Amino acid sequence: MKTFFEPETVAVIGVSARNDNLSRAIVRNLIEFDFKGIIYLVGPKGGVQFGRRIYRSVVDIPDRIDLAIILTPASTLPELMEQLGEKGVKHAVVESAGFREYGKEGKAIEEEMVNVAKRYGIRFIGPNCIGVINNHNGLCVPFTPFKNVYKKGGVTVISQSGGVGMSYLNALASEAIGLRCFAAIGNKIDVDENDLIEYFLSDDLTEIIVLYLEGISDGKRLMKLAMTAKKPILVHKSNTGKLGSHIAASHTASLSSDDAVVDAALRQCGIARFYKPEQLVNYLKSLPLPRIKGNKLVVISRSGGHAVISTDECERHGFTLAQLPEPFFREIEKHFRAKVIALQNPLDLGDLFDMDVYKKIIERTLREDTVDGVVFLHTFVSQTEGAKSRELIEQVADISMKVGKPLTICVETENSESASLKRDVSHPIFTVVEDAINSLALSRDFGMGYIEPAQPPELDVDFKIAQDIISICEKENRDPMLDEAMAIFKAYGLPTLPAKIAKTEDEAAFLAKELGYPVVMKVVAPQVSHKTDLGGVQLNLKTEEGVRNAWKEICNSISCACPSAQIEGIMIQPMAKTGPELILGGKEDRNFGPCILVGVGGIFVEIFKQASTRIAPFSKNAAFDMINSLSVAPILNGARGQKPYDVDSLVDSLLRICRLKLDFPQIAEFDANPVRVRPKGEGCVVLDARIILTR
């Protein structure tokens, strides 16, 4: 990957004398950024541009070419790749468009280009991208004109979209945040985001990696890279998509949409997700500061109004105002002129005009044991206090780094002065109170979802029973029916109710009496997935007459709603005791592999859409975290003096379905819904089950 960003010789292919030739902009950018290497121009008509000869073919260049930048019609790419191969060029950036995104014809050209590149061992970025930038050596090859306005620094941006990537570059430039490298990867047919992440994680000059992705190439590899990364990775993942209007085969598929899985995976491996440039800027400003280790803040302000705004923001982000000792306040009062302001936190220092005293107050505050971070809201007029304010900001910034506690500085002054401070001061400068406090919250919460890679849980399960049932279903090219799904869950140690299958109405009456009233009746039919919706479930039946009537109603309802359904029988179960209902489920995600969820269950599961997802495997602590993140968690844990429910049994069941999914990759999706939770010490019980196999 290094050659893409550290080439000594670059060939720009597609240059002509036409005024609208985009490849000329690539050459112009290399000159504008003072590229330190050698630039060669290539175009079929030859000629001269920028005082340089245009070679008719890359093969004609007498020098070694490290990196080729290609912007020609898509149809020319297979032949050009052939020429690169003959020349011995091993790296290219293909900015041309018109490939798979253009239809079948473009896809055929793309496949031919890829085959040629593989034959010669050529790695390439793109196609359909705007290129790469190395802000430290002057390599800048986008086909749109750029100005060399970027501060040198440690932020590397990798973007699937050139336009979105440029918006991030604009944000970095306007906030004077230092850029290391930029790569627009477009269709990412060859080099993808994971290849570049792996490279920049080992790059000494890269401090933070920022990504914009519409699709993730290899979720498992991304998670593996992130879990071992010692640098922050920030991702804007768009193209979240919505489920189709059809009813999903399982509740799990409905709740665990692709984006829910992406969100869980990113959080699980320590990648922070953002959604807009403002949030990205706050991350980039906060992460270089000392990491905040708690929630206790002190706000120091020259404006009472800004102090009030900051208090609201602190509360909104879960911060508290730290308690400061009375002697500290008394010491500050000695420097006041009118003594008309009652000191508290926030510290309103509107009656104080001595910058040296400000410095002492900020340093003393940062060193207080009860303080985790400080927000300094500094309002001033540059003409009268500009020089002293700049000196103060630089001094307190140094103190913050030495003490090891974050200090966010928010200035209220003229725009030109704010811009100058951002450009000249190494410490992050904010101009909006809300952003200053939000940045601390982002720093505090960064990586909170990280967990160590976990091994599959060691549990006592009956693998063979589950395997035999699944093998039969695979041979018959069908999914497990209700009784089979319940048997698989039972084999893996999930608690289930006694259940028997009735083939006739008389048998149903007999079995109901044998199991004991009240009972539940559920249709068993391979074509019926959502039984309740089709009238295939009858609850709380207390008499033989009720059972017989329920038999007729279930059969009639299924016949009307799903005439093709083959009713194999009706399951009879004892009616379970009341308690909270949850759903435990899992599915095979095409990108991240096995994922498991727990959520608020029952017949309204799709309406509430309240679930927590993790990529398998995960630890016991992660299972507890999943349950505690649900809105029903306070009830499970005994809210308002009520007796707590058996969360331990839920955790055990969650780990068992995790093991089931890992043992049987051919299970596409499954759920246990509802899982009725009993009081602490009494366990939980699976009341219904659904398993969908991959076919």
For residue 97, pLDDT over 70 is answered with: yes
Angstrom distance (rounded) from CA 360 to CA 3: 50
450-469 mean pLDDT: 84
What Cα–Cα distance (Å) separates residue 675 from each residue in 370, 419, 431, 517, 608?
45, 58, 51, 20, 16
For residue 333, pLDDT over 80 is answered with: no
Q: Determine how many CB atoms are found less than 10 A away from the CB of residue 520.
A: 22
pLDDT of residue 283: 96
pLDDT-derived band at 87 (thresholds 50, 70, 90) equals very high
pLDDT-derived band at 607 (thresholds 50, 70, 90) equals low
For residue 672, pLDDT over 80 is answered with: yes
- Tokens at 539, concatenated: 């609850």
Q: Determine how many CB atoms are found less than 10 A away from the CB of residue 342.
A: 8
pLDDT of residue 102: 78
The vertex-144 CA angle with 143 and 149, nearest 5°, equals: 120
For residue 391, pLDDT over 60 is answered with: yes
Q: Determine how many CB atoms are found less than 10 A away from the CB of residue 544.
A: 14
Q: Which residues does residue 140 pair with via DSSP β-bridges, in sequence order? A: 133
8-31 mean pLDDT: 95
pLDDT of residue 565: 84
pLDDT-derived band at 605 (thresholds 50, 70, 90) equals low
Same fold, 149-285 and 463-574: no
pLDDT of residue 223: 94
For residue 254, pLDDT over 60 is answered with: no
Q: Yes or no: say if 138 and 33 are a contact pair by the CB < 8 Å rule.
A: yes
Q: Yes or no: say if 313 and 297 are a contact pair by the CB < 8 Å rule.
A: no
Q: Which residues of 447-469 are buried (b: 16+ CB within 10 A; e: fewer)?
A: bebebeebeebeeebeeeebeeb
pLDDT of residue 250: 46
153-177 mean pLDDT: 96
- 92 against 337, higher pLDDT: 92
Give the lowest-confidence range in 222-236, 314-328, 525-539, 660-674. Answer: 525-539
pLDDT of residue 222: 96
The vertex-380 CA angle with 374 and 383, nearest 5°, equals: 145
Q: CATH number of the domain at 1-128, out of 3.30.360.10, 3.40.50.20, 3.40.50.300, 3.40.50.720?
A: 3.40.50.720
Q: What is the CATH number of domain 463-574?
A: 3.30.1490.20
- 346 against 244, higher pLDDT: 346
CATH topology of domain 288-445: Rossmann fold (3.40.50)
Q: Which residues does residue 92 pair with via DSSP β-bridges, in sequence order? A: 68, 124
pLDDT-derived band at 457 (thresholds 50, 70, 90) equals confident
pLDDT of residue 141: 98
Q: Determine how many CB atoms are found less than 10 A away from the CB of residue 131.
A: 28
Span 356-388, pLDDT tens digits: 989 999 999 999 999 999 999 999 999 988 999
For residue 439, pLDDT over 80 is answered with: yes
- 560 against 603, higher pLDDT: 560
Span 209-243, pLDDT tens digits: 999 999 899 999 999 999 989 999 999 998 875 53
252-262 mean pLDDT: 65
For residue 338, pLDDT over 60 is answered with: no
Q: Supply the mean pLDDT for the chain.
A: 90
Beta strands 139-140 and 131-134, pairing class: antiparallel
pLDDT of residue 342: 60
For residue 251, pLDDT over 50 is answered with: no
31-44 mean pLDDT: 96
644-670 mean pLDDT: 95
Measured in Å, how far apart are the chain's first and last C-alpha atoms? 39
For residue 656, pLDDT over 80 is answered with: yes
In terms of average pLDDT, the best of 134-143, 263-272, 302-311, 356-365 is 134-143
Give domain 581-693's CATH superfamily. Answer: ATP-grasp fold, B domain (3.30.470.20)
pLDDT of residue 400: 96
Whether the ω angle into residue 145 lies within 30 degrees of 0, i.e. cis, is: no
For residue 191, pLDDT over 80 is answered with: yes
Q: What kind and span of H or E run contains 434?
A: helix 433-445
| CATH code 1.10.1740.110 for 149-285 | no
For the chain, domain boundaries: 1-128, 149-285, 288-445, 463-574, 581-693
The pTM for the full model equals 0.89
pLDDT of residue 603: 60
For residue 247, pLDDT over 50 is answered with: no
Provide the 8-state DSSP code for 594. Answer: E
Which residue, chain included where needed, has tokens 């890279």? 225
pLDDT-derived band at 330 (thresholds 50, 70, 90) equals confident
pLDDT of residue 252: 45
For residue 608, pLDDT over 90 is answered with: no
pLDDT-derived band at 638 (thresholds 50, 70, 90) equals confident
Span 134-145, pLDDT tens digits: 999 999 999 999
Share of residues in the chain with pLDDT > 90 (%): 75
